[in-house]
Amino acid sequence: MKYSLSAWLSFFIFGGQPVEFGKEKKFFHGYLISKPIIRICLGDKLSEIRIHASSGMKVYEVNSSYSLISEDADEVFIRGFREKLSEEFSVLVAQREKRKEAEEIAQRIRDKFAKRVSIKSETKRDVDSLFQVRVEGFLTRGDALSFVKELVRSGVKDAWIIREEVTMDGSRLHWILVNDELKALDEGSVLYFIPSSAWSYLSYNGRDYRGIFVLRTSPKGLLLINILNIEDYLKGVVPSELSPYSFNELEAQKAQAVAARTYAMKSLGSNEDLGFDLDDSPASQLYEGMSAENPLSTRAVDETRGEVILYKGKLIHALYTSTCGGKTENVEDVFLGPSLPYLRSTECIFSREKEFLLKSENMLAPIDVCGKNATRVIAFLICAGIIPQRTDTPYYREEASFEEAAEWMERALAFLGKEKKTFLRKEILNFSSLAILLFETFGWEERTESLMLENEREFILKEFKDWQGEGRNEMAYLIHKGIFPSTEEIKDPERRLNRAEVIYYLGKAIRSYRPIYREGIFLSLKEEKIELEEEGERKTIPLSPDLFLLRNNEDEFSFASRIHLLGGEKIRWIEREGKVKVVEVVYPPLTNILDRNSAFHSWQVRISRKELEARINEFYPVGELIDLVPKRKGDSKRVLELLIKGKETDAVVRGLRIRRVLGLRETLFVIDREYDEEGKISYFNFSGRGWGHGVGLCQVGAFGMAQAGANYQEILKKYYKGVKIARLY
């Protein structure tokens, strides 16, 4: 009766003959779910679950009987028996596309080692079906490693240890607390949580979700499953996978939506034995529910509704990677599965990408202030209208007067929107008098009294023990806040200051309130007007004839007469009187690679040999680590085969496993080595590019293409070869 009732209930919720795919309606006690429907696991091995509803929910218990626990609950708390889990290890010896080949390998292993060998058909979302040859039944990782040593001695060097959880005692629901009433639950119960109205939604672990929840037992413990329409699911996936804040091009978001929809549709039924399709982690697709939804990504989902990627009429494995590092890789070389004609190595460039040239004849020669180039601050204050527009270097090396410094202070107050001050004192400008002037300008007098201790002041000024001049307290505060240099650099607090010094320290004082410049993204240049983006808003602003151009390369600044840009570069600028007066380009690597603006376009990692040795020995019994030797590289120059040389044995690692064993972001890397006094490797330095597995759509590259004017179909057809975009519903 239990199974008959469950089947009837499933049919009642999801069954029936479709009218038109993607348009049929399914009800459960008045709650509508439109097809296609997807089931997302929000958590497994649960023991305590708390669920909220925004406007009430119905709670049903289904087992040998069918009952309504609550008609309109706001919150429920469920407790289950903790699952008793153990672990078991198996060794993956080989995987083949053809079952016959896998059976032959399995028989050879049985004959030679007298072990329990199985063949498992792995239909994964990332590759097509493969037949895996596994030796099973190892109770500890050490037992599995010992067997790997035997395999190595027999010539098998790329065996892989797999950890599996084994259920010793199945989890089950215990009781539910709803509306202050405690109800015991029958063994084997399944709970359904249904929003009471169409505008109500459910919440779990601080996140809001569309659709309904199902809580059930499984071999993986208690599972909480979110059942909803696939388009609603994508509204929580697309912004989680490709941030609409950082990657706010609609066409890139649309490309992500179509890829994610294809991935989801291809994955339907992939965890049928557990009662769901995908989980909510990056191992499937990152899904953060309604809490992640954003108007831009939702628009991308809506405008591509029902669209998927097909190859010869079938859904593709729509793999995507964050940052490909310049070129994607062939799928079979990363995932060690079959070759797929649409997942081929592809350069991350766009032939139609435009190049723009910013020009300026306005320059400043370097001017030193305490060992630092002050010209960037000078240019910013010129463009902000705080100091005169002078580009002749001798002017800034001349002694500053109190009168002109006071005038600059007044303009700084206006720039910051502060109350105007009157300066009565007139004296020479040295560190102590400038400190007093800055305090008078910005009204910082109370800071030295309330925010600094006497002992702290004496510690900061310990080099000036014999100096008791005016401005002592003010100087201590300015040194403490980094506006003034240290006492060692000041040397003489009564030394007269030049204009560059006064301007430099004034600039630092202004920046203690807020940046002098604005920040955004360069988009294009049209007829001496710069198109840029600031906090998601596009703007077009004319360039000033006396524009300053600066390069910022890892906080090293230089003026430039010409800067070539491709679009997407981070810039800082100052706008005054409706024109851009200064543009500072924060330089990415000089390249035309589309993912150049990713934080992971290039990276470096330094790992000690001892640390790496411990990590590797969790997978391969190599003993003391001698060296790492890349043996084969792919079309993208990713390391496809890595020889791990150990004192006890060698091991060969292939494909994506390399990334896992070494703990790196990507397999696109080269290795440098450091040696100790005995000539042994002490550190490995990995210089690499990219983040992810490197197959399929490059997400940051898609954003770069969209910035350059490509539409989402062009983006998808670049990274997936020979495909068609079709609407399924």
Q: What is the pLDDT of residues 163-217, one digit of tens each?
A: 776 554 556 778 899 888 888 888 778 999 999 888 889 999 999 999 999 999 8
Tens digit of pLDDT for each residue in 469-508?
Answer: 888 899 999 999 999 999 889 989 999 999 999 999 999 9
Encode burial over 651-689: b for 16+ CB neighbours within 10 A, e otherwise.
bbbbbbbbbebbebbbbbbebeeeeeeeeebebbebebb
Among residues of the chain, what percentage have pLDDT more than 70?
93
SS3 458: helix
Residue type, 416: L
pLDDT of residue 353: 83
More confident call, 184 vs 590: 184
Q: What is the DSSP letter of 268?
A: T
Are 601 and 698 a contacting pair, CB within 8 Å? no
- Which has the minimum average pLDDT: 70-79, 134-143, 205-214, 231-240? 134-143
Query: Which pLDDT does position 20 carry in this prediction?
Result: 52
- Say if residue 719's pLDDT is above 70: yes
The band of 300, judged by pLDDT with boundaries at 50, 70 and 90, is: very high
Residue 264 pLDDT greater than 90, yes or no? yes
Indicate whether 220 pLDDT > 80: no
Write out the DSSP string of 531-545: EEEETTEEEEEEEEE
Q: What 3-state DSSP class applies to 410? A: helix
Torsion sign, CA atoms 102, 104, 109, 114: positive
- pLDDT at residue 8, as a whole number: 42
- Mean pLDDT for 679-704 is 95
Which amino acid does the sequence have at 584?
E
The residue whose two tokens read 């010094």 is: 501
pLDDT given at position 123: 53
Residues 6 or more apart whose CB falls under 8 angstroms from that of 392 comprise: none
Q: Which tokens sit at 293?
A: 């939804």
Q: CA-to-CA distance for 318 and 263, rounded, in angstroms?
A: 5
CATH 2.40.50 is the classification of domain 356-362+516-586: yes
> CB atoms < 10 A from the CB of 301, how many?
27
Which residue did the predictor score with more confidence, 533 or 4?
A: 533
pLDDT of residue 86: 64
Report in angstroms the alpha-carbon separations of 328 from 179, 337, 671: 54, 16, 20
Report the DSSP pairing between strands 570-576 and 518-526: antiparallel
SS (HEC) of 647-696 = CCCEEEEECCHHHHHHCCCCCCEEEEEEECCCCCEEEEEEEECCECCCCC
In this predicted structure, the answer to whether residue 21 has a pLDDT above a threshold of 60 is no
Token pair 């890595």 is found at 642
For 136-140, what is the mean pLDDT? 83
DSSP state of 585: E
124-128, 415-419, 645-649, 672-676: lowest mean pLDDT where?
Answer: 124-128
**CA distance linking residue 214 with residue 221, whole number of Å:** 14
**pLDDT given at position 16:** 42
Mean pLDDT of the chain: 88
DSSP per-residue letters across 205-224: TTEEESSEEEEE--TTSEEE
Contacts of 343 (CB under 8 A, 6+ apart): 316, 317, 319, 330, 331, 695, 696, 720, 721
- Cα gap 293→726, rounded to integer Å: 25
Residue 540 token pair: 């077009």
E strands along 123-159, which residues?
130-138
Question: What's the pLDDT band for 644 if we cut at 50, 70, 90?
Answer: very high
Helices 250-267 and 295-303, packing angle to 10 deg: 60
Closest of 367, 343, 333, 242 to residue 642, by C-alpha: 333
Residue 596 has pLDDT above 90, yes or no: no
What integer pLDDT is reported at residue 454 of this predicted model?
86
DSSP 3-state assignment of 38?
strand
Q: Whole-angstrom Cα distance, residue 641 to residue 436?
A: 66
Q: pLDDT band for 98, please (50, 70, 90 cuts).
A: confident
Range scoring the smallest mean pLDDT among 98-112, 121-135, 150-164, 306-320: 121-135
Q: Which of 689, 5, 637 is nearest to 334 (CA)?
A: 637
Model pLDDT for residues 419-436, shown as the tens digit of each residue: 988 877 778 899 999 999
Structure tokens at 213: 């929840």
pLDDT at residue 227 is higher than 90: yes
| pLDDT band (50, 70, 90) for residue 512 | very high
Structure token pair of residue 687: 């210089």
Q: How confident is the model at residue 607 (pLDDT cuts 50, 70, 90)?
A: very high
> pLDDT tens digit string along 649-681?
999 999 999 999 999 999 999 999 999 999 999
Residue ranges covered by each domain of the chain: 2-82+171-305, 84-169, 315-353+694-727, 356-362+516-586, 385-502, 603-688
Strand runs (DSSP E) across 64-103, as ranges? Answer: 66-80, 84-96
Helix (H) or strand (E) holding 193: strand 190-195
| pLDDT (0 to 100) of residue 423 | 79
**Segment 283-308 mean pLDDT:** 96
pLDDT at 27: 63
The whole-angstrom separation of Cα 257 and Cα 175 is 40
- Distance, in Å, from the CA atom of 270 to the CA atom of 254, rounded to the nearest integer, reads 25
Going by pLDDT thresholds of 50, 70 and 90, the confidence category of residue 124 is very low
Tokens describing residue 276: 């769901």
Return the DSSP state at 590: S
> What one-character-per-residue DSSP string does 503-558 give?
HHHHHHHHHTTS-SSEEEEEEEEETTEEEEEETTEEEEEEEEEEEEEEEEETTEEE
pLDDT per position as a tens digit, 364-374: 999 999 888 99
pTM of this prediction exceeds 0.85: no
CA 456 – CA 643 distance, rounded (Å): 57
Q: What is the mean pLDDT of residues 296-319?
A: 97
Which pLDDT band holds residue 129 (cuts at 50, 70, 90)?
low
What CATH number is given for 84-169 in this structure?
3.30.70.1070
Interval 707-721 mean pLDDT: 95
CA atoms within 13 A on the CB side of 21: 7
pLDDT range class, residue 6, cuts 50, 70, 90: very low
- With contact defined as beta carbons under 8 Å apart, do 50 and 77 qualify? yes
More confident residue, 716 or 473: 716
Cα–Cα dist 7/10, whole Å: 5
Are 569 and 535 in contact by the 8 Å Cβ rule? The answer is no
